[in-house]
Amino acid sequence: MQKFLAPFPLVRIVIPLAAGIAIGLSHQFDTTPLAVAIVLLLFAMLLLGNFIRRSSKYYLWHGLAAFAFFLTTGTFLANMHLQMNTQSASAVQKDVPVLVRIISDPESRENNVRCRARVIAVYSDSGVVNTDAVTMLYLKRNKDAETLRYGDEILVEAGVKDPSPVMNPGEFDYAKWLHSQGVYFVCFARDQWKHSGFHSESWIKQQALILRRYFKERLQVCGLSGQELAVSEALLLGQSSDIDPGLLASYSASGTLHVLSVSGMHVALVFVVLLKLLAPLEKNKKTKWISFVIQFAVIWFYAFMTGMSPSVLRSVMMLSVIITGRVIKRNAHLLNTLSASAIILLIGNPQLLVDAGFLLSYCAVGGIVIVQPMLENVWSPQNRLVKPVWSLVSVTLAAQVFTFPLGLYFFQQFPTWFIVSNLVIIPLSTICLYAGLFFLCTCWWTWAGTLFAYVLGFLIALLNTSVSFTEYLPAAVLQTANWSGFEITILYSMIILFLIAFAHRQKRVFIAGLSFLLILLFDIALVRNRDLAIEEFTVFHMRDGLAIGVRSGNEATIFIDSLTALSPEQLNFHVLPDYERADIRNLSVLRMDTLRTFNGGGCAVDKGWLNAMSLRVWLGGKNDLPTTSDSCDILLVHSKNFFMLEDLHVLTPKQIVISGEVKKKWIAKWEEDAKNRGIACYSTSISGALVVSN
């Protein structure tokens, strides 16, 4: 490993720095001891570095001191970053009027307008408190809300709230995602707001967003509409909010979702064309500097044109380091360049380490830099037709080597036809990008803009059709169970060891890789055996509708009511993630309002009764109550069987469970009556989904 990393000093820095940031984001420490440790480790590094000049026996200790120094520095940076954010958030009083400043381009959605806003003043009974916290702002979609822009200040009567916690197992943790973005509150202003003033925090960003809006308007004026317009906005300007969810799913299933995010690939394509155009200038020493200045100016203008989005800034930062290296005549290895840009970005914002886009972007580029040359060495075709095809295949494979573990971790899926789809989609999307750039350069001239818009629309339609076709190929996507952080770490370790063994022909490293493979297979087998023994009964929390899940091993049955059946997005968001992350082979979804009897999947339904595991659950209404005295483990109260506890004459429950659709006043009434009768009461609106396991 030491020999492999010797030419890459910045890689040896970014690894412990990232590890330290991961520790700091997951555990809070007192920053004072960390600061002292950093100073002592730095002193030890300098001292050992002086001894190394005399004797190489101190090399190992110097390496350990350096590793500990950057590990501690990463932990310190992450803790400082979190403390600064939490201190700003702690000064914000909730549910009182606030003055907020919009700090992102407002995004129009189906029913609302969403943007990030900075809470600059809180108006409480004790006075005005100035803060610096960030909230996600939601406004009711209307003409006034759609006119808001970056820098506008508005007074919101409703105030801010904490993001809703996860209420169901497997559900997307919105609060955790917001915190990773430095956002600690949500604000549902609806139409209870008024414009107060304007103050731009960044003139550069303000102008960038104005330019992006101009290009967006020109796309519409020149004739683009529908999904062609939506994909064009994503491909050229980095705005994907208008893309149909079904089309997004198609791109994801084909393994080409990255083309819809303005990122490294797009910036690299612009840079390649730029190098070709400026090649004559680089032949002369005097004009070479002009070439470098133009390169810097164009790539940063491209970032400016896309609204200075984080994904583009990451790529532009990396290219800027490359150009700087060429200016000072230091043709550093791309791994060092990649590491340098990552170090700069992580120091500026340590929470980028948990951002899926950041990780996927750097892993993809890292895979291409490391693996693609290995594949080219395995086979280097000389045929003019085969060579570009193999080059594209090798790049696609190289990118997938380092990104597919993240796909398993974040999305629990693997696109099986990614090679075929990328062979078609990447060249086509490249042509679309160049056609789009021609449009952006000529859109001020209506005649030329309309012509290029027509060409762009045709190409985007062809791109969308190709992606949709790929989705319907057999076994287009392999869905997997949930992967733990431990398993992903073992998987990455195995991949790295195999690559080192292949590159340096080291048998011992190959055996170490096989050892990690055995550990991974053993862990997967243990988890699968454990999952086969799981039996669970779950009452999910849903505000509008009811869903009950019964799991027996790798088989599950979900019972839903009519409201849930009419709103499949609720089922997809609140219920199905719990079973998608498990190795469920047989999943049934049944409607309770049309079901009288059922037997299967580890449960049975008969005239208002649900028997699952060793539980007897009453689902029926007041008119369906048994005529003779009976008892049950759980009495489930929901909108379709609504009655009060005094209505029960013959049924004695051990526990009352109230679903999320029941109103608060009735929840309080049920809890009071249950307490008076000594019966346990559970509300999913208060405590989240009820999960009973064997």
Map tokens 């086969």 to a residue. 532
Q: What is 566-609 written as a DSSP string?
A: H-HHHIIIIIHHHHHTTT-SEEEEEEGGG-SEEEETTEEEETTE
- pLDDT over 60 at 1, yes or no: no
Q: Round to whole Å and give the CA distance between 262 and 300.
A: 14
Quick check: 52 pLDDT over 60? no
Each residue's pLDDT tens digit, 438-484: 888 888 888 888 888 888 889 888 888 888 777 777 766 677 777 88
Provide the 3-class DSSP secondary structure of residue 522: helix
Highest mean pLDDT pick, 85-94, 591-600, 665-674: 665-674
Mean pLDDT, range 659-674, rounded to an integer: 85
Residue 107 parent element (H or E)? strand 107-108
262-288 pLDDT, tens digit each: 666 667 667 767 777 777 777 777 777
Look at residue 290 in the predicted model and tell me its pLDDT.
82
| pLDDT confidence of residue 2 | 54
Q: Which two tokens stand for residue 325?
A: 């290296």
pLDDT tops 60 at residue 54: no
Are 254 and 473 contacting, i.e. CB atoms less than 8 angstroms apart? no
Residues 145/139, Cβ–Cβ less than 8 Å: yes
3-state secondary structure string across 466-500: HHHHHHCCCCCEEECCCCCHHHHHHHHHHHHHHHH
Structure tokens at 159: 């105030």
Q: How far, in Å, are 104, 301, 312 from residue 201 at the CA level?
A: 10, 20, 20
Express each pLDDT in 517-549 by its tens digit. Answer: 999 999 888 888 888 888 899 999 988 888 899
Alpha-carbon distance of 603 to 613, in angstroms, equals 7
Q: Are 561 and 640 in contact, with CB atoms under 8 Å apart? A: yes
Is 648 a residue whose pLDDT tops 70?
Answer: no
Could you tell me the pLDDT band of residue 690, with boundaries at 50, 70 and 90?
very high
pLDDT of residue 152: 92
pLDDT digits (tens, 9 = 90+) for 497-519: 888 888 878 888 899 989 999 99
pLDDT (0 to 100) of residue 94: 76
Average pLDDT rounded to a whole number, residues 621-626: 68
Per-residue model confidence as pLDDT tens digits over 563-590: 666 677 788 888 888 887 777 878 888 8
Most confident of 146-155, 378-387, 618-627: 146-155
Gap between the Cα atoms of 486 and 519, Å rounded = 11
pLDDT at 220: 87
Domain ranges of the chain: 2-85, 98-201, 208-479, 485-532, 535-693
Looking only at the bridges linking them, the beta strands covering 615-618 and 630-637 are parallel
Reduced to 3 states (helix: H, G, I; strand: E, B; else coil), residue 168 is coil
What mean pLDDT, rounded, does the chain reach? 81
Per-residue pLDDT, 622: 64
Rg of the Cα trace of the chain?
29
Indicate the CATH number for domain 98-201.
2.40.50
pLDDT band with cut points at 50, 70 and 90 for residue 640:
low
Q: What is the pLDDT of residue 24?
A: 86
**What pLDDT band is residue 682 in, cutting at 50, 70 and 90?**
very high
pLDDT at residue number 101:
93
Q: Which residue has the higher pLDDT, 214 or 531?
A: 214
CA distance linking residue 516 with residue 486, whole number of Å: 12
Per-residue pLDDT for 151 more than 80?
Answer: yes
Angle at 297 between CA 353 and CA 457, to 5 degrees: 80
Q: How confident is the model at residue 138 (pLDDT cuts 50, 70, 90)?
A: very high
pLDDT at 80: 85
pLDDT tens column, 392-451: 777 777 777 888 888 888 877 777 776 677 777 777 877 888 888 888 888 888 888 888
Structure tokens at 185: 């509150």
Is 146 in contact with 113 (CB distance < 8 Å)? yes
